[in-house]
């Protein structure tokens, strides 16, 4: 059974669900992103009162019995693959009937305001986020289903990918659904050689740690949004993919030492277990760590 312990416990939407829903997984990924995976089977009315955070919600399974209570005629249309965008400081009522599996991405309003300034260079109160209910968005759905839910949220090696995916969804929310979606993001060039070296050195020194996009971008003195774009322009791949590649390369070097166990190597390179390393290593190289060790000697 999952035991909650994180910043996400302060969020209104989380606290309304924890009373009658099963929390499958949850985590904080940097200062800007938290996530929770829920399973619920209830017949209740739920009110989210003046949340101080934005919520992106995906109905992973079920949810056809959920309605958004607005006036005398509740809004229907829930079901697998449907998304909801619940802005901060908007109180909302929901009629819940039956089973649903949910993924929630929580974005503190303060983090949203920073993102607005960094992305558009305008005052945060000039950008509004509308409520959207039971809509389809393939990018949101595919990112959550394939790039977030399958990960080990506690493993340092996967927390970087969670952080990057969450930041990407926040950027998508800004570009696609905010009142200023017609504005262009500020564009910058690539990273300077000095900053690139500083970032690379920081990553190498912390491969066993749960790195986030925010931590790495801070080393460059940039916002996560600008850093991710500039890093990709300079290096040719996303930051989280580069970090995973460096973890795998470090594991390869350690596997050449017969005195190190695969479990020890997994721990030293940021993987939660030997099995976790094996899964990621095989996906990256086509070989299990044991097979690589046997042919690399």
| Residues β-bridged to residue 96 | 44
Enter the pTM of the model. 0.87
| CB 252 within 8 Å of CB 279 | no
Q: State the residue for tokens 């097979």.
A: 291
Q: Give the pLDDT mean for 42-46.
A: 95
Q: Place domain 243-296 in its CATH homologous superfamily.
A: Homeodomain-like (1.10.10.60)
Q: Which CATH class is domain 7-136?
A: mainly beta
Residue 110 has pLDDT above 70, yes or no: yes
Give dist(CA 76, CA 78) in Å, integer: 6
Domain layout of the chain by residue ranges? 7-136, 187-236, 243-296
Residue 250 has pLDDT above 80, yes or no: yes
Residue 118: pLDDT band with limits 50, 70, 90: confident
| Residues β-bridged to residue 61 | 101
| H-helix segments, the chain | 12-17, 109-120, 138-147, 156-177, 193-205, 213-220, 224-235, 239-255, 262-268, 274-285, 289-296
Q: What token pair was written down for 164? A: 């990057």
| CB 234 within 8 Å of CB 227 | no
pLDDT tens per residue, range 215-240: 999 999 988 878 888 999 999 999 99
pLDDT tens per residue, range 177-203: 887 666 555 556 789 999 999 999 999
pLDDT tens per residue, range 147-183: 999 999 988 889 989 999 998 998 888 888 887 666 5
Q: What token pair was written down for 107? A: 């974005």
Give dist(CA 52, CA 50) in Å, integer: 6
Give dist(CA 290, CA 297) in Å, integer: 11
Residue 3: pLDDT band with limits 50, 70, 90: confident
Give dist(CA 60, CA 145) in Å, integer: 8
């Amino acid at each position: 059974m999952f035991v909650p312990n994180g910043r996400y416990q302060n969020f209104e939407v989380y606290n309304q669900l924890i009373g009658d829903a099963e929390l499958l997984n949850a985590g904080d990924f940097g200062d800007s992103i938290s996530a929770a995976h829920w399973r619920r089977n209830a017949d209740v009315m739920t009110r989210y009162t003046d949340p101080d955070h934005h919520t992106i919600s995906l109905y992973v399974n079920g949810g056809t019995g959920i309605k958004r209570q607005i006036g005398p005629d509740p809004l229907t249309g829930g079901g697998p693959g449907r998304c909801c965008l619940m802005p901060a400081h908007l109180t909302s009522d929901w009629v819940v009937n039956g089973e649903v599996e949910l993924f929630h991405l929580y974005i503190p309003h303060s983090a949203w305001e920073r993102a607005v300034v960094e992305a558009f260079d305008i005052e945060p109160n000039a950008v509004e986020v509308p409520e959207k209910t039971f809509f389809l968005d393939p990018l949101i759905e595919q990112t959550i289903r394939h790039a977030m839910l399958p990960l080990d949220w506690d493993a340092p090696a996967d927390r970087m990918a969670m952080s990057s995916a969450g930041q990407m969804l926040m950027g998508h929310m800004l570009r696609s659904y905010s009142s200023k979606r017609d504005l262009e993001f500020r564009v910058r060039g690539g990273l300077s050689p000095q900053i690139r070296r500083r970032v690379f050195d920081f990553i190498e020194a912390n491969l066993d740690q749960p790195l986030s996009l925010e931590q790495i971008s801070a080393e460059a003195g940039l916002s996560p949004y600008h850093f991710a774009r500039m890093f990709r322009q300079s290096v040719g791949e996303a930051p989280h993919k580069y970090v995973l590649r460096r973890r795998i390369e470090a594991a390869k070097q350690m596997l050449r030492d017969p005195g190190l166990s695969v479990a020890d190597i997994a721990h030293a390179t940021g993987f939660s277990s030997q099995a976790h390393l094996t899964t990621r290593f095989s996906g990256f190289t086509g070989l299990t760590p044991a097979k690589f060790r046997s042919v690399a000697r």
